[in-house]
Amino acid sequence: MKNKKIIFLMILCSLFWSGAFIAGKICSPFIPAFTLTFLRFSIATIVLFLFCKIKDHEIKRLTKKDIPVFLFTGILGMVGYHVLFFTSLKYTTAVNASLIGASNPIFTVIISLFFLKDKLNTKRVLGIILSFTGVVLTITNADLEIVKSLSFNKGDLIMLVAVLLWASYSVFSKMVMKNYTPITLTFYSFLFCTVFLIPFVIYENPLSFLPSVPSKAYMAVIYMAIFPSVIGYLVQQYSIKEIGPAKTSIFINLVPVFSIILSVVILNEQLLIIKVFTAALIIVGVLICQKS
């Protein structure tokens, strides 16, 4: 894929990922975390498998040497991130979690420097700083009192570990990409994630609550399975292969930008001038990173 096409698709994925937050809010009151994650990735696994069959894309047959690879990507990269993210929210605020989540590109760049021998230049550093600053200002509404009142706790540490897992997943994907196609890597990551979750889902006893789950929640699960998962993760793997994990990770900071747009369009929230400024700051930061 050409870089311009990758950039366009990653921007689209950022839009899908921002929609996942709204979908997750719809589902979370009715479906516990493990079951919700299982439903999302089991549906995604089936959809991706059918897509490969229809389009005649070959998925590499699994061998013993492949198992550790997909245990890492499926369990640590997906199950680990989602479970730790949901757990962190029990002990910390959404503001803290969002700010720590926005540090993902920074950790991805650092890990890439060690394991991929990636090069760091002034433009990339500037792009990351601008983008991260834009995210901080977006989340806090540029209110210094909110920034001053921030306090950190064990939930923040849990969220930090979640971000490290996600950054490690991105870099590790690049390291093993020479042995797998993006479709193969994505499919088996989904599959291992789904299988690993089965005992936890049984513990949550889904038969006790699934019949009472409203249809809007099921629609939200289907959305998360297809758009943020199948399309989002697959495009992300192609992007990691073409432009590397560091440049790919910076697109995550576009999620707040699209969240602002969706909140105005769907939730009829008021669009503040400061939000427009901070969104522009994030976009400029992302563009500088891609030009570096």
Say what the pLDDT of residue 151 is: 65
Q: Map out the domains of the chain as residue ranges.
A: 3-291
CB 162 within 8 A of CB 81: yes
Tell me the per-residue pLDDT of 19-39, one tens digit each, with 9 for 90 and over.
Answer: 877 787 788 889 888 898 899
User: Is the sign of the CA dihedral 74, 24, 105, 153 positive or negative?
Assistant: negative
- DSSP letter (8 states) at residue 28: T
Tell me the per-residue pLDDT of 82-129, one tens digit each, with 9 for 90 and over.
Answer: 778 777 767 776 556 666 777 788 888 888 888 887 777 777 788 788
Closest CA to 40 of 252, 289, 233, 265: 233
* Res 71 pLDDT > 90: yes
Please classify residue 254 by burial: count the beta carbons closer than 10 Å to its beta carbon, then call 0-12 exposed, 13-18 middle and 19+ buried: buried
The chain-wide mean pLDDT, for the chain, equals: 84
Exposure string of 187-209, with b = 16+ CB inside 10 Å and e = fewer, is bbbbbbbbebbeebbeebebeee
What tokens does 285 get? 């930061």
Please classify residue 159 by burial: count the beta carbons closer than 10 Å to its beta carbon, then call 0-12 exposed, 13-18 middle and 19+ buried: buried
Residues 170, 123: Cα–Cα separation, whole Å: 21
pTM listed for this prediction: 0.82
* Res 259 pLDDT > 60: yes
Decide which of 178 and 266 is more confident.
Answer: 178
Question: What is the identity of the amino acid at 36?
Answer: L
